C-alpha cells in the first residue's frame, strides 16, 4: 500500500518544476470515493481496503505520468488512473480469463433479451443460436464461469434488506447438535437415569410409570395404594430430588454444601447425592447403550398375595369369573398384574425417559 501521511507526500509531474510538485494527500478522499463506488458492483469477498490500496497506486502513477501539455485537467486524469488501477487489481484476482468473462456477458445479455421476447427462459439451443456459438461451446463457457465464481462463508450477494446470502447457512444445519452438545446431552441423560434409580422405591415407581409408561396419576395412585393427590405429592418431591442431585453433579459450585449435613433430612439428601455420584463413571454415562429405569412391581404383588393368602393365578381366575367383588384390593391387584406383564414384555427395550 502506498502511504500518504500528514499531507507531506509530493510527486512531481512532467513539465512541473519542483515548486509545482503536487501534494497527493489532498486526493485521498477521491481514492476512497472511487473505491466505494467500485465496491458497490463487485462481490463482497473483496475487501474495501484492498481497493483503496490499489487506488493509491493509481494515484501515484497518475502523478508521475501526468503531462499538462495534453490539455487534460489533472483531477480528471487522476480519477481515471485511480479507477483503472482498481480495475486492474480486480482483474488480477479473477480466476477466469477475460475472454470467458466477455463471452459470459454476451450470453447473459442474450438470455435476458430472449426471456423478454419469448416470455420464458430460452433453451440452450435458442441461446447458442442467438450468441452465434455451438451448444457445446455455450455449455463450456457457462461451466468455466461457474467454476470461476468465488464465494465466501460470510456473504455472497445482496438481499432486499442489504444483507448478503450466507454460504455457511447453506452448508450447515442448525437442527443438528454440535459434538459437545451431544456429549452434554448424553451425560445429562446418564445422570438422570442414575438419579431416578437412586430414588426411594415409591418415588422411583411414580417417575417410571408416569414418564416411561405414560400412566395417569390416578392409575399410579391405585397401583401404589394411595390417593391421586398423594401420588402427585410423591411426584413433585421426586422431581425436586432429581433436580438438586443433577445440579450437584453438573455444577457443584452452585449446589448446596453437603459435606456436613445437619438434621435427618439433610443427611438423607447427602446420601442420595453421594449415591448418584457413585452410580456410574463418565465412561458409562457417555456410552451408547440402553440405560433403563428400574420399576419393580413384584414386591407389591407379593404383598397382596401374602395378605389374601392367594397367588396371583388364583386371583386372576377368580377375577375373570367375577368372584373378587368382595376383595377391596381387587382393582389394584388386577392393574398391578396387567402393568407387570406389560413391563416384563418390554424388558430389554430402551427406556424413553432420558429422551
Query: Cβ of 144: how many Cβ atoms within 10 Å?
Result: 17
* Residue ending a domain, choose from 171, 199, 227: 171
Hey, is 46 helix, strand or coil? coil
Angle at 132 between CA 130 and CA 138, to 5 degrees: 90
Q: Which set of grid coordinates corresponds to residue 104?
A: 459470459
Containing domain of residue 320, as a range? 179-346
> Which of 171, 189, 223 marks a domain boundary?
171
- Can you give the CATH number for the domain in which 81 is found? 1.10.1740.10
Q: How many other CB atoms sit within 10 Å of the CB of residue 147?
A: 10
169's enclosing H/E stretch is: helix 167-171
Same domain, 107 and 199: no
- Domain stop point among 152, 171, 190: 171
Which three three-digit cell numbers place residue 20?
509545482
Verify that 60 and 113 share a domain, yes or no.
no
Three-state SS at 68: helix
Residue 155 shares a structural domain with residue 297:
no
Number of domains in the chain: 3
For residue 11, the surrounding DSSP H or E stretch is strand 10-11
3-state helix, strand, coil split of the chain in percent (to 5) is 65, 0, 35
Q: Residue 234 sits in a domain of what CATH number? A: 1.20.140
Mean pLDDT of the chain, nearest integer: 79
CA dihedral (204, 208, 209, 210) in degrees, to 10, reads 100
Same-domain pairing of 200 and 340: yes
Claim to verify: residue 317 and residue 209 sit in the same structural domain: yes
Do residues 238 and 325 both lie within one domain?
A: yes
| Buried/exposed 4-36: b ≥16 CB within 10 Å, e otherwise | beeeebebebeebeeeeebebeebbeebbebbe
Residue-level pLDDT, tens digit, the chain, 355 residues? 444 544 445 555 554 444 345 677 888 888 999 988 888 877 666 788 888 998 899 888 888 888 888 888 888 888 899 998 988 887 776 656 667 777 788 888 888 888 888 888 888 898 889 888 888 888 887 777 665 555 454 554 444 444 555 555 555 566 777 888 888 888 888 888 899 999 999 999 999 999 888 889 999 999 999 999 999 999 999 999 999 888 888 887 766 666 677 778 888 888 888 888 888 888 888 876 666 787 888 888 999 999 989 899 989 888 888 888 888 888 899 989 988 888 877 765 444 443 3
Express each pLDDT in 320-346 by its tens digit. Answer: 888 888 888 888 999 899 888 888 777
Q: What is the pLDDT of residues 86-131, one digit of tens each?
A: 888 877 766 566 677 777 888 888 888 888 888 888 888 988 898 8
**Helix (H), strand (E) at residue 23:** strand 22-23
Residue 5 lies in a domain: no
Q: Are residues 306 and 191 in the same domain?
A: yes
The CATH code of the domain that includes 144 is 1.20.140.160
**∠ CA 95-98-101, rounded to 5°:** 85
Report if residue 228 sits inside a domain: yes
Residues ≥6 apart with Cβ < 8 Å to 36: 48
Residues 114 and 144 in one domain: yes
Looking at the structure, do residues 262 and 297 belong to the same domain, yes or no?
yes
Check whether residue 334 and residue 188 sit in a common domain: yes
Helices 264-278 and 179-197 cross at an angle (nearest 10°) of 130
Is there a domain that residue 242 lies in?
Answer: yes
Query: How far is it, in rounded angstroms, from Cα 275 to Cα 273?
Result: 5
* Cβ(34)–Cβ(79) below 8 Å: yes
Residues 147 and 189 in one domain: no
Question: Is residue 153 included in any domain, yes or no?
Answer: yes
Does residue 355 fall inside a structural domain?
no
Instruction: Count the Cβ atoms, other than its own, within 10 Å of residue 228.
Output: 14
C-alpha dist (Å) from residue 139 to 77, 107, 126, 156: 41, 10, 13, 23
| Domain assignment of residue 281, yes or no | yes
pLDDT (tens digit, 9 = 90+) per residue, 157-177? 444 444 555 555 555 566 777
Prediction pTM value: 0.48
Residue 82 sits in the same domain as residue 193:
no
In a domain, 2, yes or no: no
CA pair distance 293, 287, nearest whole angstrom:
16
Please report whether residue 191 resides in a domain: yes
Amino acid at each position: 500500500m502506498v502511504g500518504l501521511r500528514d499531507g507531506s507526500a509530493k510527486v512531481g509531474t512532467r513539465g512541473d518544476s519542483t515548486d509545482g510538485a503536487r501534494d497527493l494527500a489532498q486526493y485521498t478522499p477521491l481514492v476512497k470515493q472511487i473505491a466505494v463506488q467500485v465496491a458497490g458492483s463487485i462481490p463482497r469477498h473483496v475487501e474495501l481496503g484492498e481497493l483503496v490500496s490499489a487506488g493509491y497506486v493509481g494515484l501515484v502513477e497518475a502523478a508521475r505520468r501526468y503531462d499538462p501539455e495534453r490539455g487534460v485537467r489533472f483531477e480528471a486524469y487522476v480519477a481515471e488512473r485511480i479507477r483503472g488501477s482498481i480495475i486492474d487489481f480486480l482483474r488480477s484476482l479473477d480466476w477466469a480469463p477475460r475472454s470467458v468473462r466477455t463471452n459470459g456477458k454476451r450470453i447473459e445479455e442474450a438470455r435476458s433479451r430472449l426471456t423478454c421476447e419469448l416470455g420464458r427462459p430460452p433453451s440452450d439451443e435458442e441461446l447458442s443460436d442467438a450468441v452465434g456459438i455451438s451448444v457445446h461451446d455455450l455449455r463450456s463457457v457457462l461451466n468455466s464461469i461457474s467454476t470461476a465464481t468465488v464465494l465466501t462463508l460470510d456473504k455472497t450477494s445482496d438481499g432486499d434488506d442489504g444483507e448478503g446470502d450466507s454460504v455457511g447457512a447453506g452448508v450447515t444445519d442448525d437442527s443438528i447438535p454440535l459434538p459437545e452438545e451431544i456429549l452434554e446431552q448424553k451425560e445429562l441423560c446418564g445422570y438422570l437415569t442414575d438419579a431416578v434409580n437412586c430414588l426411594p422405591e415409591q418415588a422411583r415407581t411414580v417417575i417410571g410409570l408416569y414418564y416411561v409408561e405414560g400412566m395417569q396419576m390416578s392409575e399410579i395412585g391405585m397401583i401404589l395404594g394411595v390417593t391421586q393427590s398423594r401420588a402427585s405429592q410423591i411426584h413433585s418431591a421426586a422431581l425436586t430430588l432429581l433436580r438438586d442431585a443433577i445440579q450437584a453433579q453438573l455444577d457443584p459450585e452452585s449446589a448446596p454444601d453437603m459435606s456436613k449435613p445437619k438434621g435427618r433430612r439433610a443427611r438423607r439428601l447427602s446420601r442420595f447425592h453421594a449415591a448418584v455420584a457413585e452410580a456410574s463413571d463418565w465412561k458409562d454415562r457417555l456410552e451408547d447403550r440402553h440405560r433403563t429405569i428400574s420399576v419393580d412391581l413384584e414386591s407389591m404383588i407379593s404383598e397382596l398375595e401374602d395378605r389374601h393368602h392367594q397367588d396371583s393365578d388364583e386371583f386372576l381366575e377368580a377375577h375373570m369369573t367375577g368372584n373378587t367383588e368382595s376383595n377391596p384390593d381387587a382393582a389394584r391387584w388386577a392393574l398391578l398384574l396387567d402393568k407387570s406383564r406389560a413391563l416384563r414384555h418390554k424388558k430389554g427395550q430402551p427406556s424413553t425417559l432420558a429422551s
